[in-house]
Every structure is written in structure tokens, then in C-alpha cells.
Structure 1
Amino acid sequence: MPLPTDEKALALGKDLLQAFDNVDGGYHPGFRAAHAKGVLLTGTFVPSQEAQALTKAPHIHNSSTPVSVRFSDFAGVPSVADNDPQGASPRGCAIRFHLAEHVHTDIVSHSANSFPTRTAEEFLEFLRAVAASGPSAPHPNPIEQFLGSHPAALAFVQMPKPFPTSFAREHFFAVSAFKFTSPDGSVSHGRYRVFPEFGTEYIEADDAAAKGPNYLFDELAGRLMAGPIKFEISVQLAGQDDVVDNATIQWPEDRPALKFGEITLNAFAPNNEAEQRQIIFDPIPRVDGIETAGDPLFDPRATIYLMSGRRRRAAQP
């Protein structure tokens, strides 16, 4: 995947990367600009039968597909504590479907069913406001001013983000919508949701504070030794009048959900840290039968993921 040739798009990507660095106290060589602390697991995806009528994508019409799944904390700081009330959430879940050698498609999701801004330009303002709002900044500080004029960002910040007992008991949402084309050419719009086999489970903030800084990663190791970890992927289908190009607008919960398939994770990826540095997830599907639904966040996200990934790879020892 090449970087865009448009100078404005390149400049926006560079500005976003720098803004993330500024929020996180500078660049941490070899790590992602966001979701720096993570772990990579391997397993298998098995599609549902009903998804075959949703899309002609190959991983829906194959009996199974190998997957790599990365769980992560939010901050671009590799030492962030799992129980950090500011830097750990929303947590990430990135899924790669390995379709063939050097051929793949991804789902990138996080644990909050929303996004703070509609555009990358607004998100850049958001990050810059966060970085400029240290404890010595007079009130109303830049982030308070930004949130006061951006109700979607305020709602995102105020949204409860509880501490899960495990990555295996957390849910995840790909908050931008996709366009699905079926084998007969019919079109649907929907958003991915990733739900744990045994449901979500959370603990109170005081209980989380008493745990160690790596409690989620330590728990995951023990859980995986006891057996596989399973998630169901579903697609929440848009209604006729639902907005499909704005990640700050969520659809009503009564919208139908179609089962997309199941993921079974059974091992940590070998050479885990090196593999995490190497893999660059792509929010754009780039596969026949699934494409973006016009959300303006997609292209800037793909650009900054690639920029961050190339920088990360170049810093490898």
C-alpha cells in the first residue's frame, strides 16, 4: 500500500503523527503512535452461513481463514499501565484475515462504540488541544474549549470506559461503516462488532487500581494456556435513513445484527514483539465485496497507520 501522492493528505498524516507524539511525551522508537502496548495472537476465522448473502468477500466463502489479532491499550506509550484511567482505554482489537501470501484484509476496532470527531482535521484539533492542556494551562484550557464547541467529542470523552477483567471479556466496535456487496450484486451498509464468547465483564475502578500494571496481559497468558479464546463478529445493519459516513453518529440498538463469523484464538504469535512491529493494519478493506461507505476518516487513518508502521519498522534493532 503506497502513501498518497496528494501533498495535503501527506501533510495531514505527518501532522497527526506529530500530534500523537506530543500527547504521549514524544516519539517512542519502534512502537505505534497510538495503541503502543499490545500483544499478537493467532487463530482461525470461520464465517457464518448467513454472511454469504451479505458479501462476496473471499473469507466469507472459504471454509476458514487464518487470522492474527492484536489486543492493545490506547496510549502511544509502551509502558502504559493496564489500569491507567486515562491512557489505557479505549482498548484496541485489530484483526487480520490472511487470504493468501501477502494478501489480506483487516478489521480495526476499539472498545468504545463511538469516535470523537467526524473528520481527521477535527481529530488533529482535538489532539493538539489535549497536548496544550497541561496542569498549568489557565481555564478554560484548550481541551475544555474544544469539547465545549464539539458535542460529539464531549460525549466520547464522557462515555464510560470501564476496566475489563480480560481482553477476552471486552467488546470492540469498528465505528466507521462499510458497504457490503453480495454475490448477486445487492448492497448493504453495516458496522462490525466483535463480542466475546462469554460476554463482557468489568471491575470497579478501585479494584482495577489494586491490580498490577500488566494485569490484562498477564491474565491473557493464563487464560490462553487453559484453552482457546473465542469472539463472534457481527455486522450491525444500517436502516434506510441511517447516516453511514459519520463515525460520531451511532445507529439505534434495535437495528438488526447479522452474524459475520467466529474467531478462535489459540496461541501467541511467535517472535511476538518483532511481529507486532512488522504488521501494519489497514482500516480500508481492499477486498472484493467490502469497501468503505464514504467516511472521511478512512483515508487519513490508512495514511497515518502506514506512516507510523514504516517509522516503527525502521527503528527495529
Structure 2
Amino acid sequence: MPLPNDEKLLALANDLLQQFDQIFGLNPGLRPAHAKGMMLKGIFHPAPAAASLSRAPHFTRESTPVSVRFSNSTGVLLIPDNDPNADPRGLAVRFHLAERVHTDIVSHSTDGFPTHTGAEFLEFLRALASTKPDSPHPNPIEVYLGGHPTALAFVQTPKPAPSSFARETYYGVTAMRFLNTNGASRHGRYRIIPEAGNDHVSAEAAAAKSANYLFAELDERVAKAPIRFRIAVQLANEGDEVNNATIHWPADREILEIGSLELTEKVGDDAAEQKHIIFDPIPRVDGIEPSDDPLLELRAAIYLLSGRRRRAA
């Protein structure tokens, strides 16, 4: 995918990358966020209702091969799985539609995002970076959160550690516009739900676990049996705000199940594949279009810039 021509957008993307580097250290061969990860592969099977929502090829075929990446937050490769900063967890899914043709879902385990725009997110990261353990109160991040209630709500949302990556629900950050063969369209946000059910551990129980407990458990789990998730879309109603990732839709909005993921094994060369693959938050496939959420183009630019840097390292 090409970089956008918008110079202001590219400058903001580079500023955000530099800010991540300042917080987590410069690691060109790693992702600036969600550095610690593991990749599996499997199959996506669409549900009967999927084609009524979208004409996208993976919604209408019998099955589509997938690659997925589970990850911890932060740009620290060796962050312990039981470190509270490792939440929210990430799950990215690539649907392999044809040779060198694909579309992705990028999600994390907290519903929503702290800011509406990239400029706000940069301000958030700068406040975080400038807050030191001995900073007087109110420190920079406290000042920022005090003036940004949606960021405060995201930070204060409980983020308990899962017992397994396979026992966590993951949420698409931004809305997409789904179009079916009749031309009808609905906006919706992805939700990836574990077939085994959600299961979290207390802070005390997490602290007692090993630093690599989630990835070790994932490795053991997939070796024994397939890991299964249901993919659903929470659908917006007419009048719902679809271009702001900080706004939650009411709980009564329809959740349409569109298919299932069956993950069967690790990818062949995990480290090399993680370094090479660049996930894309913009769908770039007929039948699914991006919303006008300002985070989408920015996130795509950051992923591409950091991915190219990672491959060159």
C-alpha cells in the first residue's frame, strides 16, 4: 500500500512514531506499540448472515485462510505478560483473499480509544512521556486527563489480565461501512469473541504468574486443539456517531455474527513473519469501506512507516 500524499498527516504520523520511540526506546526492528507478539494461522468460515451485510469476498466464500497476531501493549519486547501496562492486548487478523491480496482487522481488548484525533493522541503521549515518578502533582498526564474526559474514561476502564489470549474479547477501534450486493450499507464495529468464553484473573493472581504465561499458554493450547473465535459486528443505528472512536454505541445495538475463526497452528517462522507483516486498519476490499474516522488514515500511515522501518532493520 502507498503512503498518503497528505504532508500534514505524514508529519503527524512521524511525530507519533518518534514519541513512541521516546517512551519505549528506539527499536527499529520492532513495532513501536504491541512489540511482543505471536502469530498463528487458520481458517475463517463466514456465517449465513455475513453476505446480507457485505459482498466482500471472504463473507461470500465457503472459507478463507487467515493469519493472526496476538500481542501485548507497549513497544517493549520483553514486557512481562503480567505487567498491567501490557493491557490492552491486541489481536490482528489477515484474510488471505488471493496471491498478494488481503484485508485485515486490527483490534484490541478494550472497547474504544482514548482520543478522537491523532493530534490529541500525540498530546496524550507527550503528557505521558513528560510525567516522571517524582513529578509534582498535578503532573502532566493528570493535567491532560483532567481536560480530556474520554481519555480519562479509557484509562480508568478496568483492564484485567486474561487467563489466556484465547479467553479474551477484542474490539475494532473504528467503524467500517459494509455494503451488500443490493447496495445497502450499514456502519459497524468488529467484535471478536472467544468461543471458550471470557476469563480474567485478579491482579494478585496475575502477579503470581510467570512473565511469559500468556504466550506459553497460547503455544500449548493451539498444539492441543484449535482455538476458536466468533467474529461479529456491532451495527450502528441511523443517527449514531460513526466517525469518533471514543464514542460507544448503546448496548442495545444489534450484534450480527458474521463468521468464525479456527486457529490451528503457529506460523512457520514466527519471528520473520512478525517482522515482515504490516497490518492495515483500512479494509481496501470491495464491500467494506472505511468510515470517515480521522484515526484510520493516520493509523494506516503509522503502520506502514513503522513496518518499512522494521523490515529494513
Of 123, 130, 153, 1:155 maps to 153
Question: 1: CA distance between counterparts of 2:167 and 2:113?
Answer: 21
Match of 1:11, SS state, is: helix
Question: 1: CA distance between counterparts of 2:51 and 2:22?
Answer: 45
Question: 2: CA distance between counterparts of 1:142 and 1:134?
Answer: 9
1:198 maps to which residue?
Answer: 196
Provide TM-score, normalisation by structure 1: 0.98
Q: 1:264-299: per-residue Cα shift (whole Å, max 9, x none)?
A: 000000110000000000000000010111111000
Q: For 2:272, give the aligned amino acid.
A: A
Provide TM-score, normalisation by structure 2: 0.99
2:104 maps to which residue?
Answer: 106
2:205 maps to which residue?
Answer: 207
Q: For 2:19, give the aligned amino acid.
A: A
1:230 maps to which residue?
Answer: 228
1:22 maps to which residue?
Answer: 22
1:40 maps to which residue?
Answer: 39
Match of 2:103, SS state, is: strand
Structure 2: gaps of 5 or more residues: none
Structure 1 residue 146: deviation in Å?
Answer: 0.5
Question: 2: CA distance between counterparts of 1:207 and 1:154?
Answer: 26
Question: 1: CA distance between counterparts of 2:233 and 2:147?
Answer: 32
2:71 maps to which residue?
Answer: 72
Question: 1: CA distance between counterparts of 2:155 and 2:41?
Answer: 32
How many positions carry a matched residue from both structures?
313
Question: 1: CA distance between counterparts of 2:89 and 2:99?
Answer: 29
1:274 maps to which residue?
Answer: 272
Give 1:247-266 correspondences, 5 Å limit: 247-266=245-264
Match of 2:127, SS state, is: helix
1:4 maps to which residue?
Answer: 4
Structure 1 residue 141: deviation in Å?
Answer: 1.1
Q: For 1:181, give the aligned amino acid.
A: L
Structure 1 residue 253: deviation in Å?
Answer: 1.2
Q: For 2:287, give the aligned amino acid.
A: G
Structure 1 residue 199: deviation in Å?
Answer: 0.7
Structure 1 residue 159: deviation in Å?
Answer: 0.3
Structure 1 residue 131: deviation in Å?
Answer: 0.4
Structure 1: gaps of 5 or more residues: none
Q: For 2:295, give the aligned amino acid.
A: L
Q: For 1:105, give the aligned amino acid.
A: T
* 4+ residue runs over 2 A deviation: none
Question: 2: CA distance between counterparts of 1:275 and 1:139?
Answer: 44
Structure 1 residue 18: deviation in Å?
Answer: 0.5
Structure 1 residue 136: deviation in Å?
Answer: 2.3
Match of 1:192, SS state, is: strand
- Residue 82 in 1 paired to residue 81 in 2? yes
Question: 2: CA distance between counterparts of 1:9 and 1:252?
Answer: 31
Structure 1 residue 142: deviation in Å?
Answer: 1.0
Match of 1:249, SS state, is: coil
Structure 1 residue 9: deviation in Å?
Answer: 1.3
- Residue 167 in 1 paired to residue 165 in 2? yes
- Residue 131 in 1 paired to residue 152 in 2? no
Structure 1 residue 30: deviation in Å?
Answer: 1.0
Question: 2: CA distance between counterparts of 1:299 and 1:23?
Answer: 23
Question: 2: CA distance between counterparts of 1:163 and 1:69?
Answer: 20
Structure 1 residue 174: deviation in Å?
Answer: 0.2
Structure 1 residue 175: deviation in Å?
Answer: 2.1
Of 277, 288, 291, 1:293 maps to 291
- Residue 220 in 1 paired to residue 223 in 2? no
1:241 maps to which residue?
Answer: 239
Q: For 2:122, give the aligned amino acid.
A: L
Percent identity for Structure 1 against Structure 2: 59
Structure 1 residue 6: deviation in Å?
Answer: 2.2
Question: 1: CA distance between counterparts of 2:160 and 2:252?
Answer: 23
Root-mean-square deviation over aligned CA pairs: 0.7
Question: 1: CA distance between counterparts of 2:215 and 2:176?
Answer: 31
- Residue 140 in 1 paired to residue 138 in 2? yes
Question: 2: CA distance between counterparts of 1:224 and 1:146?
Answer: 42
Match of 1:117, SS state, is: coil
Match of 2:70, SS state, is: strand
Question: 1: CA distance between counterparts of 2:280 and 2:218?
Answer: 25
Q: For 2:73, give the aligned amino acid.
A: F
Question: 2: CA distance between counterparts of 1:118 and 1:190?
Answer: 17
Match of 2:253, SS state, is: coil
